[in-house]
Amino acid sequence: MILVNTLARSIYRLKGKMKSIPLDPTTVRQPRGFTWGVSTSSYQIEGATQEDGRGPSIWDIHCRRPGRVARGETGDVACDHYHRFAEDVGLMRELGVGAYRFSVAWPRVLPLGRGQPNEAGLAFYDRLIDALLTAGIEPWLCLYHWDLPQALEDLGGWGNRACATWFADYASLIGRRFGGRVKRFATFNEPAVSTLFGYGFGWNAPGLSDREALLRTTHHVNLAHGRGVDALRSAVPDASIGAIHNRQPCRPGSPSIADEAAARLLDAYWNDAFPDPQILGRYPPALAGLMEPYQQAGDLDIIRRPIDWFGLNHYGPIYTKADPDKALGFAWTSAPNGAAHSEIGWQIEPEAFTQSLLTVHERYHLPIHVLENGYGAPDRPDESGAINDQRRIDYLATYIGAMRDAIQRGADVRGYFVWSLLDNFEWGSGYADRFGLVYVDYPSQQRIPKASFQWYADLIRRQ
Ligand code: IFM
C-alpha cells in the first residue's frame, strides 16, 4: 500500500497537477511501535480550581483582568475533568490511543509552588494515572503547561532565577511520587509561547509586555529545564525525558526589509531560543547578544542536558511585521490573502509540517514525537445532535500524510498526538475555538464524540 501511495503521488507530481498530494493515512501503516495519542493540559480541562487545596495559578488571576480573555471566561470549571476524568479515560480507550499526554497543575500539588505538598492534589493524579494504566494507555506527563503558582509569581515568577530551583524541586516531587508508574516526562510545553505571549505581548499570563522581563524569563525557563531534567533523572533513573517545542515557518507580512528582519528574529525566538540551548548548548546567533546579560558562568552547561526525544508541536506558518513598540521589535500579523486557512484563521500548509519535521531531525538528531497537531473551529452540533467536522478530518488526514512524507525522507518520527482529546479552554479565546475530537457541551458537560473521533479511531485500528 505504501508503494501504491508513493506511486500515486509521484504521478501527480510528474503531471504537475499539484505540488504534493497527501498520502491517504488510513491506508498507510506507521513503523512498528509508532504511538498514536491525544494531548490536553491541566488548566485547559481540569476546572476545580478552588477544590481540595489547589492554590491559584497565574491564569486564575489573568482571566480576571478585564479584556484579557474573550467574554471574561475562565478555567474555573473548564471540562470538569477533575471530576470526570474516568469518563474521559473511557473515551480514550474507545478511541484506541496508546498514549495520553497531560500536564500536572503545579499549584494543585504545591499550592504555594514550593514547600508543603498537597496530598489531595497528588491523589488526583494517582487516580488519573491508575485509570490510564488500567485502560492500557501510557501516561505522558508534562510538568509545565503555563499554570505557574501565583505564590511564585508574587516572588518574581520566572523573572526570579530561583524559579529554576523551585521548578527542580517540583520535578523531583513529581518524579518520586509517580515515577514508578510514569516513565515519559516532558519538562515544558511550548516555552516560546508562554514567554513571548506572557512577557512580550501581554496576551497570556502574567500579562506583561516588557523586553527585559521577556529575555530574563527566557533564560530562567531554560535553566529550569536543565535543572528539571537532572531532578527527574535522579528520581526516575529509567525515565524517558524530553521537552515540547513549537516549530513552524516564521514569515514576513510584507517583502519590506524591516519585516524580513522581524521574521528572522521571530524565527530565532520562536523556533530556536529554547531547543538550541537545551540540546546544542548555545543560543541562536540572532539572540546570543541579547541573552548575555542574564547568564552566569556555566549556565549553558546546566541547560544542556542529554534528553531522549524532541516533542514537536506544529499547526501552520506564522507571520510577523516590524513594530518598534513591541518587546522584541516585531508584532503578529495575518497570513496573506488567499492562503488556505482553518475556520479560526490559522494557515494550512502541510508541506511546512514535513519541512519542520525534517529540520528538527537534521538539527537535533533526536527521535521526534509530534505532541500537538490539530484543527480549531467553532464546531456546533447539527439538528440531529451530531458534529460533522469534516474539515478537521481533512486537516488531520493531510497533516498525517505530510508527517508520513517526512518519515519517508528520513525523519525519525515515533509518535503523533492530536490536540486535543476534548474541546477546552483556549486561553485568550476562551471557549469559542474548539480543537477537540470530542465536543464538550459546557453547560451540561456532556461529551459528544465528533466525526473526527470515529475517523481517528478507525485510523488507529487499521495500524
Ligand atoms: O491550546 C493550545 C495549547 O495549549 C498549546 N498549543 C496550541 C494549542 C492550540 O492553540
Active site residue 292: no
Per-residue pLDDT of the chain (463 residues; tens, 9 = 90+): 333 333 333 333 333 333 333 445 555 566 668 999 999 999 999 999 999 999 999 999 999 999 999 999 999 999 999 999 999 999 999 999 999 999 999 999 999 999 999 999 999 999 999 999 999 999 999 999 999 999 999 999 999 999 999 999 999 999 999 999 999 999 999 999 999 999 999 999 999 999 999 999 999 999 999 999 999 999 999 999 999 999 999 999 999 999 999 999 999 999 999 999 999 999 999 999 999 999 999 999 999 999 999 999 999 999 999 999 999 999 999 998 999 999 999 999 999 999 999 999 999 999 999 999 999 999 999 999 999 999 999 999 999 999 999 999 999 999 999 999 999 999 999 999 999 999 999 999 999 999 999 999 999 999 9
| Gyration radius from the chain CA atoms | 21
241 Cβ contact list (under 8 Å, min separation 6): 185, 186, 187, 229, 232, 233, 307, 308, 309
Q: Are strands 413-419 and 368-372 parallel, antiparallel or unpaired?
A: parallel
Distance CA(166)–CA(114), nearest Å, equals 6
Residue 288: inside a domain: no
Distance CA(326)–CA(20), nearest Å, equals 38
Distance CA(311)–CA(190), nearest Å, equals 9
Query: Residue written as cell 473551529?
Result: 377
439 Cβ contact list (under 8 Å, min separation 6): 379, 381, 387, 423, 447, 448, 449, 450
- Taking the CA atoms of 61, 64, 67 and 68 in sequence, report the sign of the dihedral they define: positive
pLDDT of residue 15: 32
Distance CA(228)–CA(141), nearest Å, equals 13
What is the CA(426)–ligand 1 centre distance, in A?
7
**Which residues form ligand 1's pocket by a CB distance below 6 Å?**
41, 44, 190, 313, 372, 419, 426, 435
Closest ligand 1 atom to Cα of 146:
4
Which of 45, 314, 420, 434 has most ligand 1 atoms within 8 Å of its beta carbon, as the pocket-test mutant?
A: 420
With 0-12 / 13-18 / 19 or more C-beta atoms within 10 angstroms meaning exposed / middle / buried, residue 11 is: exposed
- Secondary structure of residue 446 in the 3-state scheme: strand
Closest ligand 1 atom to Cα of 435:
9
Residue 269: inside a domain: no
Q: Find the domain containing 349 and state its range.
A: 2-249+294-320+334-462
Closest ligand 1 atom to Cα of 145:
4
Q: How far out from the chain centre does Cα 209 lie?
A: 22
Q: Which three cell numbers stand for residue 311?
A: 516533542
Distance CA(171)–CA(143), nearest Å, equals 7
Number of domains in the chain: 1
Whether 146 contacts 105, CB under 8 Å: no
Distance CA(57)–CA(154), nearest Å, equals 11
Q: Which three cell numbers stand for residue 178?
A: 509517580
Which of 39, 435, 437, 440 has most ligand 1 atoms within 8 Å of its beta carbon, as the pocket-test mutant?
A: 435
Phi-psi region of 245 (alpha: psi -120 to 50; beta: other; left: phi over 0): beta
Closest ligand 1 atom to Cα of 313:
6
Which of 372, 395, 399, 431 has most ligand 1 atoms within 8 Å of its beta carbon, as the pocket-test mutant?
A: 372
- Taking the CA atoms of 171, 61, 379 and 387 in sequence, report the sign of the dihedral they define: positive
What is the CA(293)–ligand 1 centre distance, in A?
31
96 Cβ contact list (under 8 Å, min separation 6): 36, 457, 460, 461
Distance CA(127)–CA(177), nearest Å, equals 12
Residue 326: inside a domain: no
Partnered with residue 438 across adjacent β-strands are 422, 449
Phi-psi region of 448 (alpha: psi -120 to 50; beta: other; left: phi over 0): beta
What is the CA(129)–ligand 1 centre distance, in A?
22
Active site residue 372: yes
Residue 314: inside a domain: yes
Q: Which three cell numbers stand for residue 430?
A: 476562551
Catalytic residue among 46, 73, 153, 372: 372
The letter for the amino acid at 260 is E
Residue 352 Cα distances to 48, 244, 315, 317, angstroms: 38, 18, 9, 7
**Residues 228-240: b if buried by 16+ CB within 10 A, e if exposed:** bbebbbebbeebb
Q: Which three cell numbers stand for residue 349?
A: 500548509
Q: Whose CA is nearest to atom 1 of ligand 1?
A: 426
Closest ligand 1 atom to Cα of 419:
8
Which of 312, 371, 419, 437 has most ligand 1 atoms within 8 Å of its beta carbon, as the pocket-test mutant?
A: 419
Residue 282: inside a domain: no
Catalytic residue among 73, 190, 349, 426: 190
DSSP characters for 204-255?
A: STT----HHHHHHHHHHHHHHHHHHHHHHHHH-TT-EEEEEEE---EEESSS
Residue 283: inside a domain: no
Closest ligand 1 atom to Cα of 315:
7
What is the CA(149)–ligand 1 centre distance, in A?
20
What is the CA(40)–ligand 1 centre distance, in A?
9
Q: Are strands 330-333 and 318-322 parallel, antiparallel or unpaired?
A: antiparallel
What is the CA(244)–ligand 1 centre distance, in A?
12
Residue 342: inside a domain: yes
Residue 285: inside a domain: no
pLDDT of residue 30: 65
pLDDT of residue 130: 98
What is the CA(189)–ligand 1 centre distance, in A?
9
- Secondary structure of residue 138 in the 3-state scheme: strand
pLDDT of residue 366: 98
What is the CA(166)–ligand 1 centre distance, in A?
25
Q: What is the CATH number of the domain that holds 225?
A: 3.20.20.80
